[in-house]
């Protein structure tokens, strides 16, 4: 299969999908830590702390030179625009959205950033809006509607202020992804991006809960959690590293809008784990939605692979003409 013969768009889709699946497991870990009395603020601080710790050590040991960015402007756009503005705004609007809307509606609006990204990529990067992107969007959104059981949501639960925060969440996430793609597609190493962005994220969240307070909360919960707590903490650390790392690397192979579309697998994974681990209900329509979500990923891999093959043929023709 050509997917394994070279690293192209299909490989990028696979990386982004891996990030989506890893992100879909977060709920199981957060539910467990919540049962131990670990606060939301502590877990919010732990996220950039874990990602920064791993990738900073890895970068300093293997590729320390990548921390020097190719252009001075990138220090401002990465640290300030992305790390201090775009990401915190997304986090705040996300919390407000999920607090004022039914989970299904808030999740769908959150995922809709992929549709916004298609147009933003067109405006800022002159990316084409192809029929393949449109088809992938339609398949993914339909699958997500079924997985989230959106048809079971009461209209009376949807408020104007909730829609405002939901749309704000959608657009802020799209711009956050756009900044990430801008940096990595312009020569910034994914390692530098992960180090700088999470360093700023850690600073922002430390105003609420410092790393020292995070460790104190885990230490206080250790007697009741025992070995299981430490194993769960290690597992959460691992999926955080995978989730943040694979989505960043995927930008080397695919556009931000395509990467975002793969996150249809996030609620799919969450719903499946909720059924298997947390004994939550899983309806037949949700199962159909999961199948459709997987079909969306397969379709993106297939079209990405075909696009790579077509580009390779065009390059061969150009070389043949130049050699004549």
**Per-residue pLDDT tens digits for 144-193:** 888 877 766 666 667 888 889 989 988 998 998 899 899 998 999 999 99
Q: What confidence score (pLDDT) does residue 27 get?
A: 80
| Tokens 């312009």 belong to residue | 186
Compare 321 and 293 and report the one with higher pLDDT. 293
Instruction: Report how far residue 282's alpha carbon sits from residue 147's, in angstroms, rounded to the nearest whole number.
Output: 9
Instruction: Report how far residue 203's alpha carbon sits from residue 52's, in angstroms, rounded to the nearest whole number.
Output: 11
For 234, other C-beta atoms within 10 Å of its C-beta total 9
Instruction: Report how far residue 296's alpha carbon sits from residue 134's, in angstroms, rounded to the nearest whole number.
Output: 11
For 316, other C-beta atoms within 10 Å of its C-beta total 10
Decide if pLDDT at 312 tops 70: no
Instruction: Report how far residue 301's alpha carbon sits from residue 318's, in angstroms, rounded to the nearest whole number.
Output: 26
Show the DSSP H helices in the chain as ranges: 9-24, 26-35, 40-62, 73-76, 87-100, 103-111, 113-125, 131-147, 160-185, 190-206, 211-250, 256-261, 265-276, 284-323
Instruction: Report how far residue 13's alpha carbon sits from residue 16's, in angstroms, rounded to the nearest whole number.
Output: 5
Mean pLDDT value across the chain: 85
Domain definitions of the chain by residue range = 2-317
For 321, other C-beta atoms within 10 Å of its C-beta total 8
| Tokens 């079909």 belong to residue | 295
Q: Please, which pLDDT band fits residue 118 given cuts at 50, 70 and 90? A: confident
Instruction: Report how far residue 31's alpha carbon sits from residue 26's, in angstroms, rounded to the nearest whole number.
Output: 8
Instruction: Report how far residue 52's alpha carbon sits from residue 245's, in angstroms, rounded to the nearest whole number.
Output: 11
Length of the chain: 324
The per-residue pLDDT for range 30-86, each reduced to its tens digit, is 889 988 999 888 888 899 899 999 999 999 999 999 999 999 999 999 988 888 888
DSSP secondary structure letters along 186-228: TT--HHHHHHHHHHHHHHHHHTTS-HHHHHHHHHHHHHHHHHH
């Amino acid at each position: 299969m050509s997917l394994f013969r070279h690293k192209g768009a299909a490989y990028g889709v696979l990386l982004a999908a891996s990030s989506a699946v890893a992100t879909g497991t977060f709920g199981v870990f957060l539910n467990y830590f919540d049962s131990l009395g670990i606060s939301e603020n502590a877990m919010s601080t732990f996220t950039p702390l874990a990602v920064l710790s791993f990738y900073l050590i890895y970068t300093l040991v293997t590729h320390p030179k990548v921390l020097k960015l190719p252009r001075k402007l990138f220090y401002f756009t990465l640290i300030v625009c992305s790390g201090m503005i775009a990401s915190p705004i997304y986090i705040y609007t996300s919390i407000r959205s999920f607090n004022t809307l039914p989970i299904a509606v808030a999740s769908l609006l959150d995922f809709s950033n992929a549709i916004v990204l298609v147009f933003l990529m067109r405006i800022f990067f002159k990316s084409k809006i192809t029929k393949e992107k449109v088809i992938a969007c339609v398949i993914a959104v339909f699958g997500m509607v079924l997985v989230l059981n959106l048809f079971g949501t009461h209209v009376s639960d949807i408020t104007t202020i909730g829609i405002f925060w939901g749309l704000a969440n959608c657009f802020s996430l799209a711009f956050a992804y756009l900044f990430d793609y801008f940096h990595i597609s312009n020569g910034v190493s994914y390692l530098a991006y992960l180090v700088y962005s999470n360093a700023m994220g850690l600073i922002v969240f430390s105003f609420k809960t410092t790393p020292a307070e995070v460790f104190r909360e885990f230490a206080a919960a250790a007697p009741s959690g025992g070995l299981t707590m430490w194993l769960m903490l290690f597992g959460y650390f691992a999926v955080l590293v995978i989730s943040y790392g694979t989505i960043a690397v995927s930008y080397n192979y695919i556009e931000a809008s395509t990467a975002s579309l793969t996150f249809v697998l996030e609620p799919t994974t969450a719903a499946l784990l909720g059924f298997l681990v947390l004994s939550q209900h899983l309806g037949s329509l949700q199962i159909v939605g999961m199948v459709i979500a997987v079909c969306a990923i397969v379709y993106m891999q297939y079209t990405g692979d075909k696009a790579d093959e077509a580009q390779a043929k065009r390059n061969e023709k150009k070389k043949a003409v130049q050699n004549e």
